[in-house]
Structure 1
Amino acid sequence: MQRYIEWILRYRFVVIALTLVVTIAAVIQAKNLNIIIDPNTMLPQSHPYVTTSNLVEKVFGSKYVVMVGVTPKEGDIYQPLILEKIQRMTAAFLQTPGVVKENLLSLSAKRAKNIAGTAEGLEVKPLMSKVPATAAQLTELRGAVEKNPVYLNSIVSADAKTTAILVEFKDGPGGFRAIMDKVEAVVGHERDARVEINVGGIPSFLARIEIYSERIGFLFPIAIVVLSLVLFEAFRTKQGLILPLVTAGLAVAWGVGVMGASGIPMDVFNSATPILILAVATGHAVQLLKRYYEDYFRLRETTDLSPKAANNQAVISSLLRVGPVMIAAGAVASLGFFSLVIFKISTVRTFGIFTGIGILAALILEMTFIPALRSILAPPSDVERKRGQKKRIWDKVTNAIANWVTGTSRRRVYGGVLLFVIITLIGMGRVTVDNSTKSFFSPELIFETDDKALNDRLGGTNTMYLLVEGAGDDAIKDPKILRAVGELQRFLENQPYVGKTLSLADFIMRMNQAMHGDDPAYYKIPDSQELISQYLLLYSMSGEPGDFDSYVDYGYRSANLTVFLKTDSSAYIEKLVEKIHAFTALHFDKSVHIGIGGSVPQGAALNEVMVYGKILNILQITVVVFIISSLIFRSLVAGMLVLLPLLVAVLANFGLMGWSGIPLNISTSLISAMAVGIGADYAIYLIYRLREELMTGADEITAVRNVIGTAGQAILFVAISVSAGYGVLLLSFGYNIHKWLAILIAEAMIMSSLSALLLIPALILTFRPDFIFRRIAVKHNPLPVSVVVLILVFGLSMQPKNGWAAEPNLGQIMEKNFVVSKVADSVADATLTLINKTGQERVRKTFGATKLEENGIDNMRMTRFLSPPDVKGTVSLLIEHADKDDDIWIYLPALKKVRRLVSNNKKDSFVGTDFSYADVIGYKVGEWNYKLLKEESVEGQLCYVIEALPKSDAVKTSNGYSKRIGWLRKDNLVAIKMEYWDEAGQLLKISTFTDVQLVDKVRGKWQAMRLEASNVQTGHRTVIKYDNFKANQQVKDEFFTTRYMEKE
């Protein structure tokens, strides 16, 4: 060790220069740091609640959902003022980058459908395609909402005083602040004195955690000022003030630089890492400098060495004596933080690793930079020596401690510690294990009051998912399972804090009721699985492909029951989960598995893992401390002595949490482990100094008094430094995480230091352990992720003609394109494949027939479903009318009845596919303006690329497109590719038409045998493939009658 120290002094300028180079590199890397909360890194990914949540989010969506509530100051929501705001905000959110458009839910969202019974059957249409303008229209909207219970308490409050928009966001850059900035950009325009707009949901709170965590940038300088005061009190010298701060500042720069270089953002755990490193590094520097001053003043008083020589000798002797114990204590502290890698939570492991690196950086600096810099600074002056030797409050404190442990009051020390332990044990019994993100903030903050208002008025801003998994495809269509799901919903809705439940069962019951004249007695699950399947098919005739994507997967093997909760308490959810398990065990068949997930259960999973991990971690660090301490002092007794004050500090930590009401949660679960890792420093240093003092020949009482008076003061200053550094977090008003850290860390540091100063000397004097009194030499050992679909789609192909002029007539081109595939009649077998964003497929096989009506424009289209079995025999009939709404009829074999559907919106999904009615029927040429963009080849075919823009807003609204671009083959004018832009001006879908065949040579009619439409916004796509397509087959009119539909 001495040679090493002498080498450092010999090359002091090189050491300082290298330190500065490393520091500059670290500071350059630190600029990459930012604070972003990533829930994925904060959750135990192997926990059942988390794996279920991940599966639900992958298959059904609903990951980061923000709730925007609108409450009028006067009246209810059924007034144009409120509904116009909802429509504008919904439209704005649809244009907002990062929004999952298909999952957007509000009164004006496409996903919100009014399932209504008519005299002839079922009608499915948007709840509010346009804002009602008359009292009668407002009353109609109110009635539609009331007849569809799924929207009550989810987007409309029970008293109709509040309506909400549920907006789901994708993962994206910028964290949750970026999400909430986008929300505020939309909401801000609608705030005024006539309404109250509240924003809530987990993303709102995670954004606040990101924002509040950035307060470290403001609190860090304050921590430096506070530490400066502590250091000045400790040394009363400029160098004693500056040196520890410089060392600590460099250690922080190194630690933060490593974090910046890694590219890992700061979060709720490691945002306070800079202050932790600052405090610990400062504390260690205090120990080293305290010893330096001791040795320097001793050398000046007992030798003839010059100030410069005494300075160099004091640097060597202080580091020679304190270096080994600093390495040991630093190893214990860093290993304590490195041990956090046992947690199954990425962010906790990251916190442990980077904090451990920071402490090692501090240790390296203390063993290199401090002695090198100290050796070139001027030695302390006599004035500084006299000032430092003046008796102060710390002398009185340590003198009192020395009196207690060396005199007759020693038994009182034991008695006081025993009484304290009893009180803390009682406090431990009062500790509540509960993780609630919303409890991290003061309840009077605006985002807290917003969230509370939404929870009071609607179903809740917190979610739990119940994943119901059947034994095979179509299992969820089983009436027994759907009834059990409905019973589970009623059970849950009777539980406290459950505000709303949603599942596929709600929609099936509403369809059944609508099909029976809205008779309340039929608001129930039908007895036939075939009828359930046919209801879903019936719905798809005018619904959207993704309407039920949030409730059931594509194979109908799994269903998602969403539970809206008014609390995010993990303690509450654990009790509710027990009730759910008991209920499902009695009401579900054993072949059905119920998984639990969602934001609240994930919080419970986090707490469960953290609590278990905390206990394991404390035990692990305890073992590490025990082993290292035993090795250092070559004694198991020494290891036990080092542990005693640390265990007292841990008990005190839990006791304080119990008595003060601080919950044991994700933010407080690491503090005890931190306390053990840092606090071990005190015990090791104290024992080391005591044994060193005894080796000088001093009697035991004198040795104890001397050690407490010198090393004891250094220990108190270190504890105060760490406590003061974290104490500035109390200035983070409204943020309980910072407040809890400040209180618990300070308590742990003070208790571990005081218990070390009281217990260790007292026990040593009482039991006189051999490792102390055998006076052996001390050597340091460095350690080492069904609705059915169908019907044939014949439109969107076009008629040819060769040899166009250089200036093509676009009107003529589009007119010929409009009729190019309109054959006199046809029959065909078809396979319809619907594919969702995760790649799951639904396959339907059909037989179809078409026939042109007398006007030569409108078609009659019949489709009979051949498979799968649950929809076999279902028949749909579409009769087109150029001058009025089309007629759509459907035959349901399970009811043995023909029902009429209403179709007055061309932009609706065509029988659940990604093609719309307008796509199938075609677009009236005179309603669009055309522009030739260019000519280009597509798969070897030279095409006109023609843009079509609607001539009026009415055309745009009716068709659902603000723009269409078609690639029309120049040889026959058949469209082989189409692109469609939604009403908001964003690309909606892309269609391709391949395997184009000439099906009527005489009339020049062509037909694509493979049609594919891909929704680029939802990831859903439809493929229709024709087999045995035959034109001009003299198809009889009886194919297109309800009598034919009823034929089995």
Structure 2
Amino acid sequence: MSNWNSDGERRAPSAGAEPMIERLIFNNRPIILIVFLALTLFLGYNAVKIKPDASFERLIPLEHPYIVNMMEHREDLSNLGNFVRIAVENEDGTIFEEEYMDTLEKITDEVFYLSGVDRSGLKSLWTPNVRWQEVTEEGFQGGTVIPDDYNGSEASLNQLRDNVLRSSTIGSLVADDFESSIIYAPLLERNPETGEPIDYRNFSRQLEEKIRQQFEEQNPSVDIHIVGFAKLVGDLIEGIESVALFALITIVLTTVFLFWYSRCIAGTVVPVIVSIIAVFWQMGILRLLGYGLDPYSVLVPFLVFAIGISHGVQVVNAMALEAAKGFDPLTSARLAFRSLYIPGIVALVSDAFGFLTLLFIEIDVIRDLAVAAGIGVAVIIITNLVLHPVIMSYIGITRGGVKHVQNHEGGADRKWRLMSYFAHPGVAPVSLLIAVVGFGVAMYYKQDLKVGDLDQGAPELRPDSQYNQDNRFIVDNYSQSADVLVVMVETPTETCTEYPVLRSLDRLQWRLANTEGVESTGSLADVSKIVTRALNEGNWNWYEISRNQTIINASIRQAPSGMINTDCSLTPLVAYLDDHKAETLRRVTDEVEDFADEYNNDTHRFLLGAGNAGVEAATNEVIASAKNKMLLAVYGVVSLLCLISFRSVRAVLCVILPLGLTSIIAEALMAQAGIGIKVATLPVIALGVGIGVDYGIYMFSKLERFLKAGYPLQEAYFETLRSTGKAVAFTGITLALGVFTWMLSPIKFQADMGLLLTFMFLWNMVGAIWLMPALARFLLKPEKIAAKAGNGPE
């Protein structure tokens, strides 16, 4: 028997019409509330204990060949891995001043004792591993850059100047203008005493409090600049703390907006509380599973809250409509549940599968985000479709809420009647034409969309952030940039210094030196040529790699640490790049790969690629290959779920095509806004599609019911707008409101995600209300739908 009469209105509820799940829930309300209370207390206790978490390994694609090579030789590349560089600038003079050198010594000592620093690799003008060397008539002479008898006098400072000029520190440890010098501190991934991973948040705070703040206060003429992966991650974690403020703003704005929508205290407070409970459940479950909150997944609770509110609005809206017909709170709640649980589950399962498609991307931090979002949506299915209607069945919609529905029906009807013309035979073709033109324009502008970072510095942070200001200072004043690509040359044991190896290294250096985007290079071949020349009275004719192995062995005897591993089976070539833009990385890695294809043999192999630039290049390749696969998966899953729900390919097209248009326009927006496809922005595409499908599912499920009742398409769409149009519009605005505040974040990728998600949530809503009925006009056959339901003409 149909639940609708000939006027498209719901009949009074009957016992036989109740689904089993409805009876199970509403016949056991006290037990359900007790269980929810116990779970909320338990999971809430765990939620408040969850901690920020960031790991270098979770941010990189561990299965990519570049990263496999890097991890295999990680111990041999300890000096080229995770490090920080601290530039100490003398704003009022040069480094050759007593006060400056005293401050530099104190800072070096302070850095030496920081937890996490690999003290054996620490370099500064004050460390004994920084030396000068020269060739004289009597042979080689050398010593530490700081004179043994240094006492701060003018004579010792002049001697220091001479030693610096005779050393190889200019451009690496000493600025080209001699107004600053660097303390280079390699880091240990794990504390050797406890075995625990380095705490980037704590390490970053130590750098700020014990280094920057302390010494800038002690010496006003000193300015300190700090860069490195650990400092970047520390700043990102610090930025997470500001998320709490955004959460408060979001909750307040949502509550105000929700009350304006419903004019019902219960319809405002209950959805907010239930959505907050969902967030606590999600975070509690994540902690129990061993997850923390990294800079990417920390935004998922916002999404969970916004999704919870958006689905809660559907419950409030449905209950208000039933209460306006005179039903009591329990009956209104049961009818609302009965009409919403199927489209609600389909929508939320679509959300969850949309998130889980991110598991295709072989980067753990994105997979963590997928798990966090998937758990959040699973929780919402329980809280919003069970807890919310059960609570409302006791409280009900207030008189103010009921009156608001009754008083606004007439005025709203005029608005819905006007919007129903989107399904009119004369308007629908115009809408489709606009959509096609929009698609073409978006396809044109999305051609500029690139994979990877498009800006210098740390794109995760805003250009005016302290970290990016520090990075600009180091790039402008030192010849060794912060963007390092390491090519690993692998050889049989004890053969990494043989002539064929060094000769091939020299050839690759020459090719890279003539590649756009490469600032400078360095390898064991340089050391051998420099020393060979020095051993021959500095004659430039000897600035070459000798074919005599004895001469080669003598030339590399004093090679810097990190240039040869312990068994001489690996030597690195280091390339310093102008930036880490996607095109720069692609150009340089292509050059290395072409060279490797030509010169790799049984005696040596050139392997990419370590260093931060190598990691970025690998990440870009993974993102580029995963993008289309992920889009295909998310659209495939969402389409399949819609097909199972509506049992019609035409219905699926009505729901999915507006989402596809939104995705194309969003990519065009990214291209024109200078936002590349990277770790932070790729998930947005899946999130936008997975959540955006909710509008179409709710709208089409209502439209289908009215078509089954025998309504013509435009009239059916009018009734759809009357019953759920306001809720769908509010859903879009609520979702957008939940992520809009991200745009205020000091973390740029959070701001980028906020911009894109706000656009996608709003535009998906527009697509469901505007484009779906136009598609329905051409794709659906209302008379067949009605006849199939038994309400069509005989």
Same fold (TM over 0.5): yes
Partner of 1:28: 45
1:15 corresponds to 2:32: yes
Q: The residue matched to 2:496 in structure 1 has which SS?
A: helix
Counterpart-to-counterpart distance in 2, 1:660 and 1:347: 25
Partner of 2:445: 427
Q: The residue matched to 1:612 in structure 2 has which SS?
A: helix
Counterpart-to-counterpart distance in 2, 1:388 and 1:572: 63
Quote how far apart the aligned CAs of 1:725 are.
0.7
Partner of 2:8: none
Partner of 1:235: 262
Q: What does 1:418-497 align with in structure 2 at a 5 Å threshold?
A: 418-435=436-453, 438-493=458-513, 495=515, 497=517
Q: What does 1:163-312 align with in structure 2 at a 5 Å threshold?
A: 163-172=181-190, 173=197, 175-184=199-208, 185-191=210-216, 192-298=219-325, 300=326, 310-312=328-330
Moved more, 448-457 or 181-190: 181-190
1:81 corresponds to 2:99: yes
Is the alpha carbon distance of 1:220 and 1:379 closer, same or farther for their aligned partners in structure 2, counting shifts above 3 Å? Answer: closer
Counterpart-to-counterpart distance in 1, 2:537 and 2:414: 90
Quote how far apart the aligned CAs of 1:440 are.
2.3
Counterpart-to-counterpart distance in 2, 1:94 and 1:333: 49
Quote how far apart the aligned CAs of 1:512 are.
2.5
Q: Which amino acid counterpart does residue 22 of structure 1 have in structure 2?
A: L
Counterpart-to-counterpart distance in 1, 2:143 and 2:570: 26
1:581 corresponds to 2:593: yes
Quote how far apart the aligned CAs of 1:707 are.
0.2
Is the alpha carbon distance of 1:204 and 1:352 closer, same or farther for their aligned partners in structure 2, counting shifts above 3 Å? Answer: same
Q: Which residue of 757, 781, 784 maps to 1:745?
A: 757
Counterpart-to-counterpart distance in 1, 2:416 and 2:93: 71
The answer (yes or no) to whether the contact 1:49–1:598 under 8 Å persists in 2 is no
Q: What does 1:404-803 align with in structure 2 at a 5 Å threshold?
A: 404-406=422-424, 408-435=426-453, 438-493=458-513, 495=515, 497-537=517-557, 539=558, 548-582=560-594, 591-595=603-607, 596-732=609-745, 734-769=746-781, 773-774=785-786, 776=788
Is the alpha carbon distance of 1:357 and 1:658 closer, same or farther for their aligned partners in structure 2, counting shifts above 3 Å? Answer: same
Is the alpha carbon distance of 1:459 and 1:588 closer, same or farther for their aligned partners in structure 2, counting shifts above 3 Å? Answer: farther
Partner of 2:194: none
Is the alpha carbon distance of 1:207 and 1:388 closer, same or farther for their aligned partners in structure 2, counting shifts above 3 Å? Answer: farther
Is the alpha carbon distance of 1:132 and 1:523 closer, same or farther for their aligned partners in structure 2, counting shifts above 3 Å? Answer: farther
Counterpart-to-counterpart distance in 2, 1:764 and 1:126: 80
Quote how far apart the aligned CAs of 1:502 are.
3.0
Is the alpha carbon distance of 1:676 and 1:776 closer, same or farther for their aligned partners in structure 2, counting shifts above 3 Å? Answer: farther
Q: What does 1:846-885 align with in structure 2 at a 5 Å threshold?
A: none
Partner of 2:177: 159
1:145 corresponds to 2:164: yes
Is the alpha carbon distance of 1:297 and 1:15 closer, same or farther for their aligned partners in structure 2, counting shifts above 3 Å? Answer: same
Moved more, 3-12 or 515-524: 515-524
Quote how far apart the aligned CAs of 1:193 are.
2.6
Partner of 1:824: none
Q: Deviations over 1:418-443 (max 9, x none)?
A: 12111211121121222367122222
State which structure, 1 or 2, has the greater radius of gyration over its C-alpha atoms.
Answer: 1
Q: The residue matched to 1:329 in structure 2 has which SS?
A: helix
The answer (yes or no) to whether the contact 2:420–2:715 under 8 Å persists in 1 is no
Alignment RMSD = 2.6
Quote how far apart the aligned CAs of 1:738 are.
2.2
Quote how far apart the aligned CAs of 1:587 are.
6.9
Q: Which residue of 42, 56, 68 maps to 1:51?
A: 68
Quote how far apart the aligned CAs of 1:692 are.
1.1
Give structure 2 stretches of 5+ with no counterpart: 1-17, 191-196
The answer (yes or no) to whether the contact 1:343–1:349 under 8 Å persists in 2 is yes
Q: Deviations over 1:912-969 (max 9, x none)?
A: xxxxxxxxxxxxxxxxxxxxxxxxxxxxxxxxxxxxxxxxxxxxxxxxxxxxxxxxxx
The answer (yes or no) to whether the contact 2:87–2:224 under 8 Å persists in 1 is yes
The answer (yes or no) to whether the contact 1:223–1:724 under 8 Å persists in 2 is yes
Is the alpha carbon distance of 1:140 and 1:508 closer, same or farther for their aligned partners in structure 2, counting shifts above 3 Å? Answer: farther
Counterpart-to-counterpart distance in 2, 1:337 and 1:129: 61
- TM-score (ref. length: structure 1): 0.69
Quote how far apart the aligned CAs of 1:628 are.
1.4
- TM-score (ref. length: structure 2): 0.90
Is the alpha carbon distance of 1:651 and 1:250 closer, same or farther for their aligned partners in structure 2, counting shifts above 3 Å? Answer: same
Q: The residue matched to 1:294 in structure 2 has which SS?
A: helix
Q: Which amino acid counterpart does residue 297 of structure 2 have in structure 1?
A: N
Q: Deviations over 1:274-297 (max 9, x none)?
A: 100000011011112212222222
Q: Which amino acid counterpart does residue 738 of structure 1 have in structure 2?
A: Q
Quote how far apart the aligned CAs of 1:255 are.
0.5
Quote how far apart the aligned CAs of 1:56 are.
4.3
Q: Which amino acid counterpart does residue 16 of structure 1 have in structure 2?
A: L
Counterpart-to-counterpart distance in 1, 2:92 and 2:35: 70
Quote how far apart the aligned CAs of 1:338 are.
1.9
Counterpart-to-counterpart distance in 2, 1:554 and 1:5: 70
The answer (yes or no) to whether the contact 1:2–1:316 under 8 Å persists in 2 is no
Moved more, 289-298 or 388-397: 388-397
Is the alpha carbon distance of 1:139 and 1:393 closer, same or farther for their aligned partners in structure 2, counting shifts above 3 Å? Answer: farther
Q: Which amino acid counterpart does residue 625 of structure 1 have in structure 2?
A: V
Quote how far apart the aligned CAs of 1:33 are.
1.3
The answer (yes or no) to whether the contact 2:324–2:405 under 8 Å persists in 1 is no
Counterpart-to-counterpart distance in 2, 1:55 and 1:745: 38
Greater helix proportion: 2
Partner of 2:354: 336
Quote how far apart the aligned CAs of 1:770 are.
7.0
Give structure 1 stretches of 5+ with no counterpart: 301-306, 540-546, 779-1048
Q: The residue matched to 1:369 in structure 2 has which SS?
A: helix
Q: Deviations over 1:679-718 (max 9, x none)?
A: 1111122121111122334333221111023222221111
Q: Which amino acid counterpart does residue 146 of structure 1 have in structure 2?
A: L
Counterpart-to-counterpart distance in 1, 2:273 and 2:668: 36
Is the alpha carbon distance of 1:654 and 1:349 closer, same or farther for their aligned partners in structure 2, counting shifts above 3 Å? Answer: same
The answer (yes or no) to whether the contact 2:89–2:181 under 8 Å persists in 1 is yes
1:4 corresponds to 2:21: yes
The answer (yes or no) to whether the contact 1:169–1:179 under 8 Å persists in 2 is no
Q: The residue matched to 1:76 in structure 2 has which SS?
A: coil
Partner of 1:71: 89
Counterpart-to-counterpart distance in 1, 2:600 and 2:633: 43
Q: Number of residue pairs matched?
A: 759
Q: Deviations over 1:782-817 (max 9, x none)?
A: xxxxxxxxxxxxxxxxxxxxxxxxxxxxxxxxxxxx
Q: Which residue of 356, 359, 381 maps to 2:374?
A: 356
> Identity of aligned pairs, percent?
19
